């Protein structure tokens, strides 16, 4: 059974038991297991004795759509097709060949459906697209929340700081820790044979040819300058990376701020596209360290250490995976304008505005930032990593943002530049944590710091020099310096 708090209704239409199938519109939890949405659709199909249809679409019209993001999603779809090949399900992968071509696809499947199930995702276009479709169909649509360990509907509001959210979690999370989605939701279900693809649907929305996901992504009418990266999307890849991280790097996770050491999981792109499940990762971690939900400390005062009663590295990792990751989801779930400058805490807006006209030591245009043409080799290296690999090292991502604030004409412009660069180039961009991270640079989830400084005011300050003093950044700068990549400047 799916915990009721994870079920959001998208319209007031009834279920139609005399329909021909149950549709799962896979939008955010793009994985064949550890997925409450898919599980809900299977449970409904099983109880109604109806076949299951899974529709996974890739739009060409979402903001910052690029070959990089699309190749990653299509890789995931190829995996999905393999995972569903021997299951009682009609899997319909679809890639929009031109903007708007996918319009009507879900409505067409819904015409003969008993129920449409989809995924809840708290940001960007997804909730809006879902409500639009839900208003046009004559059958019930439900959006299921598989986003995190804490159901979003069980949170009362956005939290001002990670500490406040951690305190809340330490009280509320224990009652949700035992609610895991099934690793394989088909186990135990008796579904009828999958239906054949209706001719009309096939003709207008033919299934994507997934034999070469990259080639397909590179043929779509989207931003082709942001090219696919080496890493591959997909749930199987995500699970393999979880195992590798737990076996090889978890114990050194407390070293993750060092640019010369790879200590973090690197999983954020797979989380962003729903290829990775936080429940699966928590489950695997618990097995590895011999932990069970009964082990957590009762109560808790919001402290980062000790509550889980796990080894320090594991606790530190869970603080990022749950407290920080879900802080961003909760923000987007409760605050409709989560990306607006005006939504920053009043103290941050006040101090940034007070310093908005301070002379900047350097200013750069969006294009200069984008091309990594600043005076600062460390910043340029971070930007080059973003362009080449679609990621920035954990710690340097904070510095990257802080320097954009320092070198733009106003904090509002800094926000625009960060959003554009992050969401265009980062494989994990356009995520609740894109806005959470970017807003953190401008003071969200943080407190006022002293001494007050030019441009930053009381907002936390970071410098490349301090970073270079604290950590060995030489190899990182050498590896990503723009001079080695002249081709990137020839656009
Ligand atoms: C300016 C700026 C922009 C950012 N943009 C994004 C973004 O577009 N997408 C994104 O997922 N994260 C973003 N972050 C948060 C953070 O930098 C990344 O989540 C993290 O670097 C991912 O690396 P990892 O997977 O190795 O993390 P790990 O340390 O292995 O952590 C595991 C998971 O926890 C989550 N996580 C870790 N750190 C944070 C954090 N500080 N805040 C929120 N969640 C976290 C991620 O889902 C991550 O995959 C941004 C941070 C900043 C300062």
Average pLDDT over the chain, rounded to an integer? 96
Radius of gyration (Cα) for the chain, nearest Å? 23
How far are the Cα atoms of 117, 146, 154, 178, 275 from residue 172, in angstroms, in the given order?
27, 17, 9, 12, 26
pLDDT of residue 490: 36
Give CA–CA dist 87/394, Å, rounded: 39
pLDDT of residue 298: 83
pLDDT higher than 50, residue 222: yes
Q: Given strand 89-95, what is the order of strands in its sheet?
A: 7-9, 141-145, 113-120, 21-26, 52-58, 89-95
Give CA–CA dist 344/414, Å, rounded: 14
Three-state DSSP at 198 gives coil
- Is 241 a member of any domain? yes
Three-state DSSP at 488 gives helix
The reply to whether 314 and 389 lie within a common domain is no
pLDDT band at 491 (very low <50, low <70, confident <90, very high): very low
Ligand 1 center to 267 CA (angstroms): 9
Q: Which domain holds residue 310?
A: 235-334
Q: Is the peptide bond prior to 451 cis by the omega test (within 30 degrees of 0)?
A: yes
Atom of ligand 1 nearest to the CA of 269: 11
Provide the sign of the torsion angle of the four alpha carbons 317, 321, 325, 327, taken in this order: negative
The reply to whether 255 and 361 lie within a common domain is no
334, 356, 384 — which closes off a domain?
A: 334
Condensed to tens digits (0 to 9), the pLDDT of residues 91-101 reads 999 999 999 99
146, 167, 194 — which closes off a domain?
A: 146
The reply to whether 279 and 374 lie within a common domain is no
Q: Of all residues in the chain, what percent carry a pLDDT higher than 70?
A: 98
Condensed to tens digits (0 to 9), the pLDDT of residues 401-456 reads 999 999 999 999 999 999 999 999 999 999 999 999 999 999 999 999 999 999 99
pLDDT band at 300 (very low <50, low <70, confident <90, very high): confident
Structure tokens at 387: 């362009």
pLDDT of residue 485: 43
Counting ligand 1 atoms within 8 A of each CB, the residue from 425, 433, 438, 444 with the most, and so the one to mutate, is 433
The reply to whether 18 and 89 lie within a common domain is yes
Q: What is the mean pLDDT of residues 10-37?
A: 98
Let me know the angle formed at the C-alpha of 183 by 179 and 186, rounded to the nearest 5 degrees.
110
pLDDT higher than 90, residue 299: no
pLDDT of residue 488: 37
Residue 326 sits in a domain whose CATH number is: 1.25.40.80
pLDDT band at 288 (very low <50, low <70, confident <90, very high): very high
Ligand 1 center to 386 CA (angstroms): 13
Atom of ligand 1 nearest to the CA of 429: 8
Give CA–CA dist 322/219, Å, rounded: 37
- Is 483 a member of any domain? yes
Look at 124 and 181; give whichever has higher pLDDT: 181
Nearest CA residue ID for atom 19, ligand 1? 268
Q: What b/e sequence results for 245-283 when a residue is b if at least 16 CB atoms lie within 10 Å of its CB, and e otherwise?
A: bbeebbeebeebbbbeebbbbbbbbbbbbbbbbbbbbbb
The reply to whether 306 and 286 lie within a common domain is yes
pLDDT higher than 60, residue 487: no
pLDDT of residue 10: 96
The reply to whether 141 and 112 lie within a common domain is yes
Give CA–CA dist 450/443, Å, rounded: 13
The reply to whether 1 and 141 lie within a common domain is yes
pLDDT band at 360 (very low <50, low <70, confident <90, very high): very high
The reply to whether 368 and 469 lie within a common domain is yes
pLDDT of residue 483: 66
The reply to whether 386 and 290 lie within a common domain is no
Among 23-32, 190-199, 292-301, 439-448, which stretch is predicted with the lowest mean pLDDT? 292-301
pLDDT higher than 90, residue 117: yes
pLDDT higher than 60, residue 484: no
pTM of the predicted model as reported, rounded to 2 decimal places: 0.97
Structure tokens at 420: 């554009």
310, 334, 358 — which closes off a domain?
A: 334
The reply to whether 26 and 75 lie within a common domain is yes
The answer to whether 305 and 267 have CB atoms below 8 angstroms apart is: no
């Amino acid at each position: 059974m799916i915990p009721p708090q994870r079920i959001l209704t998208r319209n007031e239409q009834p279920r139609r038991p005399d329909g021909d199938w149950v549709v799962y519109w896979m939008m955010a939890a793009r994985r064949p297991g550890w997925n409450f949405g898919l599980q809900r659709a299977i449970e409904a199909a099983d109880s109604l004795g109806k076949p299951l249809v899974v529709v996974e679409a890739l739009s060409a019209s979402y903001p910052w759509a690029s070959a990089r993001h699309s190749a990653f999603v299509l890789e995931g779809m190829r995996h999905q097709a393999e995972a569903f090949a021997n299951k009682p399900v009609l899997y319909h992968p679809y890639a929009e060949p031109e903007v708007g071509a996918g319009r009507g696809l879900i409505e067409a499947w819904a015409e003969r459906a008993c129920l449409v199930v989809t995924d809840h995702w708290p940001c960007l276009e997804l909730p809006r697209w879902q409500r639009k479709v839900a208003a046009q169909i004559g059958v019930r649509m439900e959006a299921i929340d598989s986003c995190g360990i804490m159901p979003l509907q069980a949170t009362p509001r956005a939290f001002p700081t990670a500490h406040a959210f951690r305190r809340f979690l330490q009280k509320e999370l224990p009652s949700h820790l035992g609610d895991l989605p099934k690793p394989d939701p088909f186990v135990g279900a008796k579904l009828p044979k999958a239906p054949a693809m209706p001719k009309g649907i096939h003709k207008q929305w033919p299934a994507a040819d997934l034999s070469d996901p990259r080639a397909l992504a590179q043929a779509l009418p989207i931003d082709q300058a942001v090219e696919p990266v080496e890493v591959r999307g997909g749930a199987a890849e995500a699970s393999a990376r979880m195992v590798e991280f737990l076996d090889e790097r978890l114990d050194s996770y407390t070293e993750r701020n060092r640019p010369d050491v790879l200590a973090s999981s690197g999983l954020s792109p797979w989380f962003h596209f729903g290829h990775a499940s936080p429940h699966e990762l928590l489950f695997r971690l618990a097995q590895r360290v011999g932990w069970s939900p009964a082990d957590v400390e009762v109560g808790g005062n919001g402290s980062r250490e000790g509550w889980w009663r796990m080894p320090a590295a594991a606790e530190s990792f869970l603080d990022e995976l749950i407290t920080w990751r879900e802080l961003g989801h909760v923000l987007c779930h409760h605050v409709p304008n989560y990306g607006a400058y005006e939504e920053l805490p009043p103290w941050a807006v006040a101090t940034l505005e007070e310093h908005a006209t301070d002379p900047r030591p350097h200013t750069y245009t969006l294009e200069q930032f984008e091309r990594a043409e600043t005076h600062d080799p460390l910043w340029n290296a971070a930007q080059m990593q973003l362009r080449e690999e679609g990621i920035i090292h954990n710690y340097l991502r904070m510095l990257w943002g802080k320097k954009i604030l320092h070198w733009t004409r106003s904090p509002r412009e800094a926000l625009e530049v960060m959003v554009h660069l992050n969401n265009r180039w980062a494989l994990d961009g356009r995520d609740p944590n894109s806005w959470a991270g970017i807003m953190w640079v401008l003071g969200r989830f943080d407190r006022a710091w002293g001494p007050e400084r030019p441009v930053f005011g009381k907002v936390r300050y970071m410098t490349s020099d301090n970073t270079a003093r604290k950590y060995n950044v030489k190899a990182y700068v050498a590896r990503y310096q723009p001079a080695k990549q002249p081709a990137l400047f020839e656009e």
